Amino acid sequence: MNTYQAVRDAMSIALAKDDNAVVFGEDVAFGGVFRCTMGLAEEFGRERVFNTPLTEQGIAGFGIGLAMMGHTAIAEIQFADYIFPAFDQLVNEAAKIRYRSGGSFNVGGLTIRTPTMSVGHGGLYHSQSPEGFFMGASGLKIVIPRSPLQAKGLLLASIRDPNPVIFMEPKILYRSSVEQVPVDDFALPLGKAETLIPGSDLTVLTWGTPVYNSENAIKLLQNPPEVLDALIPKSLRQAKVELIDLRSILPWDVDHVVESVNRTGRLVIVHEAGMTAGAGAEISAEVQKRCFLKLEAPVKRVAGWDVPNALQYEKFHMPDSIRILDAIMETLSY
């Protein structure tokens, strides 16, 4: 499966096994702009898979109401760039209703799906990564998968989690990421990072699309092409770099990351969102506090520039393999 097929498969299983589950959002009854809901309306009926008006605040508010009444509400915000009109509903209502009502009500049945990150030509309103804006919203969970298998397992876990979850799907991976995915029902744990490449000299922490750029950067370090050969010191090429996919941004797996950094002594954090007050800033502060005596170098962040995502120069805005490689070498050489 590719990623959009895996996402569609997860929702099909959720609808089939939970009669209270509904899927809704802009154009979802037609299959959605990325085809993630293709055929679901025909399979489960248009009372359970239906379109909404063009109102993100309304979609989130409607989902909160459904979840409070005991439904499993699987809502789609068509692009993560347009989640901001729903910010009040998600941060002030969904995240707080259990606390506000003293446990009488909750919206644990709410999952907000939304495509995120760059696609190479999305520009200002179709390439943003807004996960960092929700880092302070206690009561929400934020999940970003890197692949089809991860997308299916994490989405099913998100739908069934007793807390509201914002599930952000890297849009460039919908078709470009392909792997074997079990057709059966399965879930992957939320709040748990995963080590993809073990190492002992430096930790690279990332999530979503940059997982692949980071993996490529590690390969470039170890086996540089001729054009980069003179720029990469031979003393660094034997470094063993550990690569971690965070997967859950809120809550993030502090113990997993800290254990790795205590072993390697160095950390490079990579994300597409802007650097200032991004998710990497919170992670960096916590790691500096917990690993201070073990750090061999300052925590390094590689992120999008603190400017709007520009259509003409989007490829230069994103943290590509060369920028990540440069950060790895700088941190190893400190």
Give CA–CA dist 55/81, Å, rounded.
13
Q: What is the pLDDT of residue 124?
A: 87
Q: What is the pLDDT of residue 272?
A: 96
pLDDT tens digits, one per residue of 207-262:
999 999 999 999 999 999 999 999 999 999 999 999 999 999 999 999 999 999 99
Respond yes or no: is residue 56 known to be catalytic: yes
Q: What is the pLDDT of residue 314?
A: 87
Distances from the Cα of 53 to the Cα of 50, 60, 122, angstroms: 10, 12, 23
Q: What is the pLDDT of residue 220?
A: 98
Distances from the Cα of 74 to the Cα of 50, 89, 234, 329, angstroms: 11, 15, 51, 43
pLDDT tens digits, one per residue of 261-291:
999 999 999 999 999 999 999 999 999 999 9
Amino acid, res. 131: E
Q: What is the pLDDT of residue 310?
A: 78
Cβ 13 vs Cβ 38: under 8 Å: no
For the chain, list residues with pLDDT below 70. none
Catalytic option among 26, 93, 126, 169: 126
Catalytic option among 56, 76, 93, 215: 56
Give CA–CA dist 223/114, Å, rounded.
37
Q: What is the pLDDT of residue 119?
A: 87
Each as own residue / partner, the long-range contacts of residues 134-137 (CB below 8 Å, 24 or more positions apart, any chain) are 134/90, 134/91, 134/166, 134/249, 134/250, 135/249, 135/250, 135/279, 135/282, 137/90, 137/91, 137/95, 137/250
CA Rg, the chain, in Å? 20
Q: What is the pLDDT of residue 313?
A: 84
Respond yes or no: is residue 121 known to be catalytic: no
